[in-house]
Amino acid sequence: MDKNSKIVFFDIDGTLLDHNKELPLSTKKAIAKLKNNGVYVAIATGRAPFMFEDLRKELDIETFVSFNGQYVVFEGEVIYKNPLSVEKMKVLRKYAEQEKHPLVYLNHKTMKANVQNHPFIHESMGSLKFKHPELQSSFLEETEIYQALLFIEEKDQQTYLEAYKDFHFIRWHSYSTDILPKGGSKAIGIERMLERMPFKKENVYAFGDGLNDIEMLEYVGTGIAMGNAHAELLKVADRVTKDVAEDGIQHGLELVGLLGK
């Protein structure tokens, strides 16, 4: 890598993976060509590392920002960790249990729930093709937690936003919202990674589609929103490509001139 090298960060759900959680062939080919053109490729996702291991292997990518910026890996080496405060999470947990709002806790290897069985968890995790996590209510105290999931409808979210200002809440499903440390974002994770790499800001690109991609697209030199992106993300994007299911990644890379001829 030299100072004129380029790097592209890709979100996963709705960006690399289509609406059926599958990797379009055009996307796989475009990323292979991108690498052949000397462009560095990385992932920036809200997912935990264990949730996209197969995708990393398929695309041969070992540099990633996970948990929306809380756990950053550069070529297989962990270079930044920002776990949630256990004590502050305990306070939130007490209220959530009182209101019967379930939680799921995630570290880099696995996830556990604080309830045995809940329809909101089944529905939300099922949309990612994951099963309801096993019950392990003490998991919060036993490991570093980089992200928690709170399972509530949007109408019940305001109380949390007002009462727990040490956390950043990002909705990703009609029944679920991410809980991150205040100030945590994919942009922070990318910033930490770029401290290790010689890329100029204008040579940094990112693709995304969700609310958790807003800071990332604002931070990088060129932010590209998918055609299926959330309306709020479209407002901050430098460019907008086609829907993920319409060869959106390939088209977007062509739009910004990274695939060549």
Known catalytic residues? 11
For residues 63 and 78, give the distance between their C-alpha atoms in angstroms, rounded to a whole number.
9
Residue 120 Ramachandran class (φ > 0 left, ψ -120 to 50 alpha, else beta): alpha
Long-range contact set of residues 127-136: C-beta below 8 Å, sequence gap at least 24: 127/173, 128/13, 128/21, 128/47, 128/51, 129/21, 130/51, 133/104, 136/112
Which DSSP category does 257 fall into? T
- Structure tokens of 140? 């919060």
Cβ-count burial 37-70 (b if 16+ within 10 Å, e if not) = eebbbbbbbbbbbebbeebeeebebebbbbbbbb
